[in-house]
Every structure is written in C-alpha cells, then in structure tokens.
C-alpha cells in the first residue's frame, strides 16, 4: 500500500525558470494539501485541494504560484519565474474522504526540495 508519492525529490532551477512538483496521494485519499518548509522553520500551509476543486488557498502567494488536482493524475504545484526565496522543501499530504468523521490526521510524502540558483 503505497504512501504519498512526491516527485521529484530534488529539483534545481535557475531564477526565472518554472518548477513543477507532483504529488500522488495515498490510495483512497481524495484530499491533498501542500505545505512549504523554509530552512529552520516549521511547515506553512499553502493550499488544500480535492479533485478538480481548490478548497482553501489562503496560504498561497498571490503571484507565480498555482496548484491543481485534476480528475486524473497527480496534484501539481507550479511555481513560475522562480526566485531564490522559493528555495524550500515542499511537502504534500493527503487524507481520506471524511464520511462524517474527522480525525484530522494527514499523511505526508517525503517532500520535494527545490533549490533556486
């Protein structure tokens, strides 16, 4: 039973390039969350998605960042025109459909580490 799969694990981009990070949730999970972890800091919420629907994007920067979770395929976090401040670890997490109960637990992937030169 595979866990949350993220790729690439490491990504190097030059300033101005685009970064695409992919996340496949655990089997049976329909909720995906993206978090960013800057060096020496905790995790900051970015966006919460269900299939074909963004539920909460209150943590997403207003420009250059976008996320999607299509009907088929993985969730993608896209960063356009990257800058050095985008260098961070980006974690994806998933959770199952709630079905009237909620425990709040999230299952995390191993992260994608973006380095902007």
Q: Residue numbers of the site for other proteins (CB under 8 A)? A: 4, 31, 33, 35, 41-45, 48, 55-56, 91, 93, 95, 98, 102-111, 113
Q: Estimate to the nearest angstrom the gap between the alpha carbon of 98 and the chain centroid.
A: 20
The residue whose two tokens read 């380095």 is 115
> Would you call 14 exposed, middle or buried from its count of C-beta atoms within 10 A (0-12, 13-18, 19+)?
exposed
Q: Which is nearer to other proteins, 44 or 78 (CB)?
A: 44
Nearest to other proteins of 43, 76 (CB atom) = 43
Task: Please tell me what DSSP assigns to residue 16.
Answer: T
| Least Å from the CB of residue 74 to other proteins | 16
Give the Cα separation of 83 and 114 in Å (integer).
11
Give me the least distance between CB of 16 and other proteins, in Å please. Answer: 27
In the complex with other proteins, which residue's Cβ is closer, 41 or 72?
41
């Amino acid at each position: 039973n595979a866990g949350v799969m993220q790729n690439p694990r490491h990504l190097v981009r030059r300033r101005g390039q685009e970064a695409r990070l992919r996340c496949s949730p655990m089997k049976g999970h329909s909720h995906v969350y993206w978090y960013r972890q800057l060096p020496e800091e905790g995790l900051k919420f970015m966006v919460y998605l269900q299939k074909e629907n963004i539920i909460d994007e209150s943590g997403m920067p207003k420009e250059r960042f976008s996320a999607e979770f299509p009907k088929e395929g993985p969730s993608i976090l896209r960063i356009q025109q990257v800058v050095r401040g985008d260098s961070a670890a980006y974690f994806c997490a998933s959770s199952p459909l709630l079905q009237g109960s909620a425990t709040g637990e999230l299952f995390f992937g191993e992260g994608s580490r973006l380095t902007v030169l």
